[in-house]
A and B are shown apart, each in its own frame.
Chain A
């Protein structure tokens, strides 16, 4: 398949989309697309870029709403709905912008994953907002037909348990779907469907999940294909020459994939030294703090811990030489020889000096939360909000003297209980940094999304409190889009 190829001279602007649907307001929001066929359109390069940025704005908004307290509130949903309707005004814009970003983000793996996740979330969000009619239509789009009533009747005894308890009386006219279990993986993993001889039986209320899964699969396959065969595989070379830099530009904006250390002012980079890491723990989020404590206690860190903590310190500005000094000092229970032989390799690997020589950037929160959970008493990695129960967490907070009142700690624990790990972490930050005045000048955007953002903001806060010059003033969003054209940067900024 060739996604951008079809963008070549063509007589009509939009093919195959009925007038009435594109003219009505909200049409784009309501019309759920599979994006299974690339549009045949002619458009200016400027427009190309504008379309891309419009979609970017939607996906970023989505990301923010998903990660915020308002994720499930009516307000959050309405705000998101509004952005979608405003930016993706027409179904054709929706379609074209999707394909532009699909092409641009197929260029590297991390962005492919980001795009895949957020496009799927967008698709899912729209389905969740959709009415029954749209949903049924979407099921048809994916060739999903309801379970035959006779079979449903036969299996009712089993299927009944899938329905909410108060719904038992109406169960006889409930619709069920039957799909190969591989199409309902998240429901299978959570045992939220009946699995029998390789088929998953799903109540209509859960069918959104299946559709989203199918959508993700199709998109994932297409992205993989693009990654392997190149975006412009099928189009002629002059077309490719014109579009490629543009796609590169779009690709390079938006995501904070660059190591955060590069954004740090030099004053901060030089602040982190092998000697002062233990003192800086009060500026670290809980995950890194427990790591340092674990390191001091065990005099070593196991593999995942070295990776998570090592990359964090690297992101905080610790140089390779300093990191080697720091870890060797901390691994104090072993001989220099043993250190050299067994561990120094992995630190150098972190800095891209060994193995595949790929420099890695620090894990963000979702990376940490979704990583392999600690399974050994010597494991200190992972997100404590996820891995600890509330008892252990509140004891830990208390022992670290976090918060001036028990209420402060309770607020953190409550968020953790409701599984809002990121918010719990943000709350921890707020509790530790109560001066609203100071916070005005500090970028707090990514706290709760990236440990390094937490650390950076905490240091900046201290700087402010102790009267340091506002060294953080170039911290705003613009810094993320280094290297992209100004116009792109402007639109991206305005979406903030």
Chain B
């Protein structure tokens, strides 16, 4: 698998727009170059591959300033990286810093480092017994990327001295990875590959709304944390103990539960069952309004905004038995002024009438149509909505414990943006382009120092509190870390009480 990531690279990568005028631009692009220094031969090696990089026009448009460089990265690690947040999360222990947590010390970290420009080395099986050790290693190595793996039965850093089979993954957050790249066939905003814009970001918003609800309501997970990947996607980390200890089989089942397989070029036979499963019904109720407001009109992805689009991508996909609707509506819509939303309602109504659910007398066709055709037609509007809105998961990331996933809080070297936490309740307000880049963070620090000198504000505990990272990190502390720690404390207390009861000394 590691070889895969090199061979699929786009040869044109060298032209990345980021920081084209900067003297460091040669370095910023190494990510796209040959990774032949990778030394990994482990068959189990699984990681979230970085796909071919494309020109990030959006980033270039927004700013021509330097957003990322090794110097900036060094500064970020030295001054802003929230080591304490990462540690107190991954230690799953409310008593920060001084306590040694095996959950932390047996966690695999892996790092991508660049000893010299253009050279890239991937180091796996790093582990650290304390927050301090992790800090020291990161400050020294200054990785361009950090990945988090599983928690193992032994400290992964000892992997060379351990016998085969002794290093087994024992825990790992359940993770989900969603990338806009997987939406290319339904993105009509002009973006492809790694490009994103506010129009297509809406797919991520929908994904969070559907998945977050499902994870909490259906599976009872309470500690779900969402992150912007820094580029074109989002990650979910589900941290409940029950989620961390799921077997690979169970991960597979949960991921498959959230996956809706729709017809593809290779497989047109798709079955949705009616009545819809409650989880799908809930998803549909969330998604159809988005579909109407953001997929149909020209201001969105334009599915019902032009005759070409509605013929090719909508009417032509009506099942055979409903073709009469297609030709009828095509003529009708050719010269009328209904809005896309009204057209969608008309379309749905025609389908209902055709299969005899429209109320009133049944049409002749409704009486003669086979049950199978009726069902296909009944499913069709739901399928259309799901095809254009339902979250597209990179399911392989979720399936196994030892799949590596990019660590929150690190920086995407192509965009310079920090992988920041997102609060699911505020996903609609989240703007990926507002996420600070390294360049901007340094400016913010400078600005703060200037004004602070004048105003004599009290000195914040962390340097990141002086920047816009505060707006991302503090809600993470409050809405995710605190409840997580509260539950762990409660759990520990219960256990202690039980143990005391067994000994008989209250």
Contact = CB atoms under 8 A, between A and B. Distances in A.
B65 interface: no
Interface residues of B, number: 37
Q: Which of B7, B36, B217 has the most CB of A within 10 A?
A: B7
Interface in B235-259: 242, 246-247, 249-250, 252-254, 256-257
A191 interface: yes
Contact of B279 (A195, A228, A372): A195
Contacts of A342: 3, 6-7
B185 to A, nearest CB: 12
Contacts of B67: none
Given A303-B1, A343-B3, A389-B266, A188 B254 contact: yes
A391 B253 CA distance: 30
B208 interface: no
Interface in A321-356: 341-343, 345-346, 349, 354-356
A197 B269 contact: no
B43 A356 contact: yes
Contacts of B252: 185, 189
A196 B220 CA distance: 7
B266 A392 contact: yes
B386 to A, nearest CB: 13
B460 interface: no
Nearest to A158: B278
A215 to B, nearest CB: 14
B4 interface: yes
A217 B3 CA distance: 35
Nearest to B242: A198
B61 interface: no
B34 to A, nearest CB: 9
B277 interface: yes
A195 B218 contact: yes
A228 B165 CA distance: 9
A388 interface: yes
Q: How large is the interface on A (under 10, 10 to 19, 20 to 34, 35 or more residues)?
A: 35 or more
B278 A189 contact: no
A191 B41 contact: no
B217 A191 contact: no
Contacts, number: 82
B219 A189 contact: no
Contact of A303 (B4, B165, B396): B4
A244 interface: no
A36 B269 CA distance: 43
Nearest to B259: A189
B267 interface: yes
A182 B246 contact: yes
Given A182-B250, A185-B249, A185-B253, A302 B267 contact: no
Contacts of B221: 198
Contact of B277 (A191, A197, A198, A341): A191
B53 interface: no
Interface in A137-188: 158, 161, 181-182, 185-186, 188
A161 B281 CA distance: 12
Contacts of B1: 303
A387 interface: yes
Given A195-B218, A342-B7, A355-B43, A372 B278 contact: no
Nearest to B281: A161
Contacts of A444: none
Contacts of B218: 195-197
Interface in A383-401: 387-392
A376 to B, nearest CB: 8
B257 A389 contact: no
B268 interface: yes
A194 interface: yes
B266 A387 contact: yes
Nearest to A376: B8
Contacts of A354: 41
Contact of B3 (A198, A303, A356, A392): A303
A110 to B, nearest CB: 15
Nearest to B218: A195
A249 B417 CA distance: 61
Q: Which of B43, B218, B247 has the most CB of A within 10 A?
A: B218
Contacts of A349: 41
A421 to B, nearest CB: 13
A417 B246 contact: no
A197 B246 contact: no
Interface in B264-304: 265-269, 275, 277-280
Nearest to A384: B266
B278 A389 contact: no
Contacts of B249: 185
B272 to A, nearest CB: 10
Given A188-B253, A198-B220, A392-B266, A341 B4 contact: no
B269 A390 contact: yes
Interface in B33-65: 36, 41-43
Interface in B170-199: none
A389 B277 CA distance: 25
Interface in B287-331: none
Interface in A47-101: none
A346 B4 CA distance: 11
B391 to A, nearest CB: 15
Contacts of B263: 389
A341 B396 contact: no
A442 to B, nearest CB: 33
Contacts of A185: 249-250, 252-253
Nearest to B245: A182
A392 B43 CA distance: 33
A189 B3 contact: no
B217 A189 contact: no
B280 A191 contact: yes
B401 to A, nearest CB: 14
A228 B219 CA distance: 32
Given A303-B1, A389-B269, A391-B268, A189 B253 contact: yes
Given A158-B278, A355-B43, A195 B266 contact: no
Interface string A221-262: 000000010000000000000000000000000000000000
Nearest to A306: B3
B177 to A, nearest CB: 14
Contacts of A189: 252-253, 256-257
A355 B41 contact: yes
Contacts of A355: 41-43
Contacts of A302: 4
A189 B218 CA distance: 13
Contacts of B247: 182
Contacts of A190: 256
A181 B42 CA distance: 33
A391 B268 CA distance: 8
Contacts of B217: 196-197
A333 to B, nearest CB: 12
Contacts of B42: 355
Contacts of B277: 161, 191
Contacts of B269: 389-390, 417
A127 to B, nearest CB: 20
A354 B3 CA distance: 14
Contact of B253 (A186, A228, A343, A346): A186
Please provide the 9 A-B residue pairs with the shortest distance between their CB atoms, ordered closest to farther.
A198-B220, A197-B220, A185-B253, A189-B256, A189-B253, A355-B41, A195-B218, A389-B268, A191-B277
Interface of B: 1, 3-4, 6-7, 36, 41-43, 165, 217-221, 242, 246-247, 249-250, 252-254, 256-257, 263, 265-269, 275, 277-280, 396
11 contacts: A185-B250, A185-B253, A191-B277, A196-B220, A197-B219, A197-B220, A303-B4, A342-B7, A355-B43, A387-B266, A391-B268
Given A182-B242, A188-B256, A354-B41, 12 more contacts: A161-B275, A185-B253, A190-B256, A191-B280, A194-B278, A197-B217, A356-B41, A372-B396, A389-B263, A389-B266, A389-B268, A417-B269
